[in-house]
Structure 1
Amino acid sequence: MQNTTSPQTLATQPSVNQLSAPLVKRLIEQADTLHVGVSKHVSGCTIVDAGIQFPGCAEAGRLIAEICMGGLGVVSLQADDRFVDWHDAIAVTSTQPVFACLASQYAGWALSHEKFFSLGSGPARALAQREDLFKELEYADSGTSTCIVLETDKVPPVEVIEKILRDTKMSPEQLTIILTPTTSIAGVVQIVGRVLEVALHKAHTLHFPLENIVSGTGLAVLPPVANDFMTGMGRTNDAILFGGFVSLQVKGDDAAAAK
C-alpha cells in the first residue's frame, strides 16, 4: 500500500486540550440533565461528580469518554445482539486513534497521596508529560484549560490537585477534575469506552509502528453496574477483553499488518 499521507509536525498535531474543552463545557452546562454534580473545590478548580454523590447516567459516561479521547473520538451507545442477556453496547471510532487513545485516553498518570490513589486519564496528561510514552509519541500539547478524569469514589486531596496544577502549569480556574467511580453507570460507560484504546496499547506493546495506524473502530458490550470496586473492574475488563471487537485501518506492507 502506498502512503500518501504527510507526517504530522508538532505545529500541525491536533490539540486534545483545545478539542475537548467544548465537551467539558457541555458536561458542566448540562449537569442537571446528565445527573452530575458540579462544584468549586477549595483550591479553585472545578469538580464534576459523575457517580459519588450524584448518580450520573450513561449519556454522561459517553460524553466523558469523548472528553477522555481529547475530542478526537466519537462515542455512541447502541443496541447489541451478540449476547443473550446483555443488549447494550458502546461503539468508539477515531480517525486519530494514536493521539486520541494513547496521548489522552490512556490512564497512565499515577496520582497518589497517603491513602489516595488514582490513575489519571484525559487531555491533562498531554500537558503534564509525566510519562515516557509522550517521548515515543513525540507529542506535546498546550491550551488555556485542561481536564483530567479520575476513576475514584473520593475527591482527591489538595496535595494531588496541587500536583496536577503544578505539572500541567495551569491555574486552578483552568482545571476541571471529573470523578467517575467504577461502581457508577458513567464510570462503567467511560471504562468500557476504552475498547479501542486497549487495542492501541496492545499494538504499542507489540512494537507495531504507531505512525502506520490510520483509524480505528471498536465495539464492546456494557456490563451491569457492580456494588463494589473489584467486581466492577472485573466486569468492565471482561466486557472489553471478551465482549469487545476492534478494527484498525493501517498502512504499510502485509507483513507489518500481520503483526
Structure 2
Amino acid sequence: MISVNENVTKYVDTLLDREEEYGIKSYYLENKATVIDCGVSMPGSIGAGILFAEISLGGLGKVSVVPGIIDSYYINFAQVYMDQPAIACLGSQKPGWKLKTEGFSGTAYGPARALSQKPKAIYTAIDYSDDSEVAVINIEAQAMPGVKEMDYIAKQCSTDPECMVALVARPNSIVGSVVNGTRAVEWAMNRLLQLGYDVKNVSSASGACPIAPLKKDDMQFIGASFDGISYYGLAYLYVKARDDRFRDATSQTSKSYGRGFLALLKESQGDYSKVDPTLFAPARIMVNGLQDGSLEAYGKLDPAMLLGSYGLKS
C-alpha cells in the first residue's frame, strides 16, 4: 500500500540538509518533535516552496515554477503533475484539518492527515488510509506550533511526538504562495467529489496556475491567490470516460462567478465556509477519457479578473 508519509521523508531530509540555502530553520522541541519554519519568521524561498508543495502531495506529485505571460506581464506559474490524484490531493494536500489550541490557530494538511483520517468522510470516499509510524504535517499558520500542539497532532495520528515533523509557513509568504499555486487539481478533485463523482476514476492529472504576488495583508493575498485558481487555474484530468458532472466542476458555473474572493471573504468576515463552495473550482478543465478517447474542455480563463486582483492594469 502507498504510504504518503514514508514517501516524503527524503524531501524532508533535503530541506534539513539545505536550510541556509532555502531560507528556512528547523527546531527540535522538548518532546523530540521536529518543526521547520519555512515562512513564519524565516523568509523561505521558491526552492523550499517546491519541496513544501511536493510534501503536501504525499510525494505523489512533482512541482515546478515556470514563466508565464498574461497581457505582457511576466507571471510565475506553478506547474504540477501527479499520479494517484485522489490520494495526493484529497488524501493529503487538501487543507482539511483545523488546529486550535490556546494561543495557536492553524490549518493542517499534508501526509499526516491520512493518519488522523481528518475528515473521515473523504478517506471513506477515496478508500485510503496510512499506517506509517513517521508523520509529516504541513501547517498554514501565523506562528510556530510548540510542544502542546505537536503532542496533540501526534496523538491524533497515533504516533509519538519524536516521529513527527511539521513544516510551517504563513499563506502570505514565498512558500505559501507557491503551495497555493499548486491547488488547481485539488480544487477540481474536491469539486468533483462534491458532485458525487467517483474521484478514484481519475488516474493521473496535471495543473498550472499563477502564483499570486505577496500582499500587504493576509486577506488581500488569499483573495488574489484564490482568484488565480478560479479565474486562471487549469487542470488536465485523465479519467475512465466522459461524465456530465465535469460540466459543473469549473468556477464559471458558480452564482458568485465574476466577483473577487477578497470581497467575498470580507462579506463573510474571513469565514471560508460562508463563501459559495462552487466558486472553489479551477477556471478551466480538460478531461481526457481513457476508455472512449474523448477530450472535453470546460470553463474559461479570465485574464482581466486575474490582473485586477493582482493590482495590475489589463
Given the alignment of the two structures, is residue 224 of structure 1 paired with residue 213 of structure 2, yes or no?
A: yes
Find the partner of 1:60 among 41, 48, 58.
48
Tell me, yes or no, if the aligned pair for 1:62 and 1:193 is still in contact at 8 Å: no
Counterpart residue number, 2:169? 180
- Correspondences of 1:76-115 after superposition (within 5 Å): 76-115=64-103
* Deviations 1:198-243 (CA, angstroms, capped at 9, x unpaired): 1111111111111211111100011211232111211211111112
Give the deviation of 1:82 after TM superposition.
3.2
The AA in structure 2 aligned to 1:19 is N
Aligned-pair Cα RMSD in Å: 1.6
SS at match of 1:101: helix
Tell me, yes or no, if the aligned pair for 2:29 and 2:146 is still in contact at 8 Å: no
* Deviations 1:78-116 (CA, angstroms, capped at 9, x unpaired): 011234324211101111111100000011011111342
Tell me, yes or no, if the aligned pair for 2:192 and 2:245 is still in contact at 8 Å: no
Aligned equivalents of 1:257, 1:181: Cα separation in 2: 33
Find the partner of 2:5 among 8, 12, 17.
17
Aligned equivalents of 2:154, 2:189: Cα separation in 1: 28
Number of residue-to-residue matches in the alignment? 247
The AA in structure 2 aligned to 1:20 is V
Tell me, yes or no, if the aligned pair for 2:49 and 2:175 is still in contact at 8 Å: yes
Find the partner of 2:152 among 160, 163, 169.
163
The AA in structure 1 aligned to 2:40 is I
Tell me, yes or no, if the aligned pair for 1:250 and 1:257 is still in contact at 8 Å: no
Counterpart residue number, 1:204? 193
Counterpart residue number, 1:151? 140
Aligned equivalents of 1:26, 1:99: Cα separation in 2: 23
The AA in structure 2 aligned to 1:62 is I
Q: Percent identity?
A: 30
The AA in structure 2 aligned to 1:161 is M
Aligned equivalents of 2:191, 2:44: Cα separation in 1: 31
Aligned equivalents of 2:32, 2:69: Cα separation in 1: 46
Aligned equivalents of 2:232, 2:4: Cα separation in 1: 28
Aligned equivalents of 1:104, 1:204: Cα separation in 2: 15
Tell me, yes or no, if the aligned pair for 2:58 and 2:111 is still in contact at 8 Å: yes
Given the alignment of the two structures, is residue 72 of structure 1 paired with residue 57 of structure 2, yes or no?
A: no
Bigger RCO of structures 1 and 2 (CA < 8 A, at least 6 apart): 1
SS at match of 1:149: strand
TM-score (norm 2): 0.75
Higher alpha-carbon Rg: 2
CA distance 1:254–1:223, shift in 2 (3 Å): closer
Runs of 4+ with >4 A deviation: 253-259
Q: Which runs of 5+ in 2 are unaligned?
A: 249-314
Aligned equivalents of 2:246, 2:209: Cα separation in 1: 23
CA distance 1:186–1:255, shift in 2 (3 Å): closer
